[in-house]
Amino acid sequence: MSTQTWDPSDYGKNGAFVQTMASEVLEWLAARTGESILDLGCGDGQLTQRILATGATVVPVDSSPEMVAAARARGILAQEASAESLPFSDRAFDAVFSNAVLHWVSDQDAMLAQVRRVLKPRGRFVAEMGGHGNIAAIRVALGVVLARHGFGDRDDGASYSPTADGYAQRLEGHGFHVQRMSLIARPTLLAESGVEGWLRTFRRGVLDGLPEPLRDTVVQETTALLAPVLRDEEGNWTADYVRLRFIATP
Ligand code: BEZ
């Protein structure tokens, strides 16, 4: 997985939209009573709770120990695991579900091989992730500011935003059949903390890698560059999210 680090409390405040905007991918999953579902990258467990409410058996995993602890604090028995080496037997699950996680996985081929391995032959992989053009303005602005300060090579974790055709080919290369796939522009209203809160939450891995005195400067300069395009007259910030959502079967 990438080196991104998470603060569950910041994530709860500045990333609340990750849960509230997940209804459609949950509809695509259409979990049923008695099914066994792997929740890959369960985060703080809010979506796990919604899947559990369908009567399915859910196995939640996350690579972040902080997120696993946050999920456990809400009574979700999450376990720490990497998407690239899943600690489950072959053909263990009816479905693998993932929301807002796959773009963080460094070795996509290892992850897809693992998902394929743990799915039953009639199973399904239902996921939503960053798609081509995702947070383009934020990436350009942050990249320019990092380069200005001599750290232009640092914004690595946000780089994987495949096209629909590109990811379909990748899935097919691992023996999946794509049943449904959409690339969706999804402008996303940010929390009151705006892009500053977003940067501190979602680019924390990058900021933590900078010399301490530079962190606030990078956040402030990036925020100033983005204000004319992402902040409206009332002061609301909208991020330029693009989602790739799919259902693929073995
Ligand atoms: C996202 O699409 O959820 C995302 C991608 C890169 C950085 C932060 C968020």
Residue with tokens 């609301």, as numbered in its chain:
236
Distance 64 CA to ligand 1 centre (A): 16
* Ligand 1 centroid, distance to 34 Cα (angstroms): 32
Return the closest-CA partner of residue 242 out of 136, 156, 119, 150. 136
Q: How far is the CA of 232 from the centre of ligand 1 (A)?
A: 21
Residue 78 lies in a domain: yes
The pLDDT-based confidence of 1 (bands split at 50, 70, 90) is very low
The answer to whether residue 163 sits within a structural domain is yes
C-alpha 199/C-alpha 213 separation (Å) is: 16
- pLDDT at residue 157 above 70? no
Is residue 9 very low, low, confident or very high in pLDDT (cuts 50, 70, 90)? confident
The verdict on residue 224 lying in a domain is: no
Q: Ligand 1: which of 138, 202, 244 to mutate, judged by most atoms within 8 Å of the beta carbon?
A: 202
Helical (H) or strand (E) element with 212: helix 212-230
Task: Give the pair of three-digit tokens for residue 85.
Answer: 């080496």
- With beta carbons less than 8 A apart as the criterion, state whether 84 and 110 touch: yes
Q: Which ligand 1 atom is at minimum distance from the Cα of 241?
A: 2
Is 96 inside any structural domain? Answer: yes
CATH number, residue 170: 3.40.50.150
83 Cα to the center of ligand 1, angstroms: 17
Select from 21, 85, 94 the least CA-distant residue to 55.
94
In a domain, residue 117? The reply is yes
pLDDT of residue 3: 53
- The best mutation among 135, 142, 198 to test binding of ligand 1, ranked by most ligand atoms within 8 Å of the C-beta, falls on 135
Segment 96-154, tens digit of pLDDT: 999 999 999 999 999 999 999 999 999 999 999 999 999 999 999 999 999 999 998 88
- For the segment 159-214, what is each residue's pLDDT rounded down to a tens digit? 789 999 999 999 999 999 999 999 999 999 999 999 999 999 999 989 999 999 99
**CA 130 remoteness from chain centre:** 7
Q: Which residue has the least CA distance to atom 2 on ligand 1?
A: 130
Residues with C-beta less than 6 Å from any ligand 1 atom: 100, 103, 130, 134-135, 158, 202, 241
* Higher pLDDT among residues 205 and 47, named by residue: 47
Question: Cβ–Cβ contacts within 10 Å for residue 141, how many?
Answer: 22
Residue located nearest, by CA, to atom 6 of ligand 1: 158
* Nearest alpha carbon, ligand 1 atom 1: 130
Residue 54 placed within a domain: yes
Q: Tell me which residue has its CA closest to atom 7 in ligand 1.
A: 158
- Taking the C-alpha atoms of residue 65 and residue 78, their distance in angstroms, rounded to an integer, is 10
- Give the Å distance between the CA of 143 and the centre of ligand 1: 15
Q: Determine the structural domain holding residue 105 and report its residue range.
A: 8-134+159-189+240-249
CA 107 to chain centre: 15
In a domain, 173, yes or no: yes
**What is the pLDDT, as a whole number, of residue 100?**
96
- Does some domain include residue 104? yes
User: How is residue 70 written in tokens?
Assistant: 């946050």
Number of other CB atoms surrounding residue 85 within 10 Å:
11
Percentage of the chain surpassing pLDDT 70?
98
Taking the model in full, what pTM does it have? 0.95
Closest residue by Cα to atom 3, ligand 1, is 100
Give residue 134 CA to ligand 1 midpoint distance, Å: 7
The β-bridge partners of 76 are none
Q: Using most ligand atoms within 8 A of CB, pick from 10, 25, 134 the residue to mutate for ligand 1.
A: 134
Which ligand 1 atom is nearest residue 242's CA? Answer: 2
The amino acid at residue 194 is G
Who has greater pLDDT, 20 or 171?
171
How many domains would you assign to the chain? 1
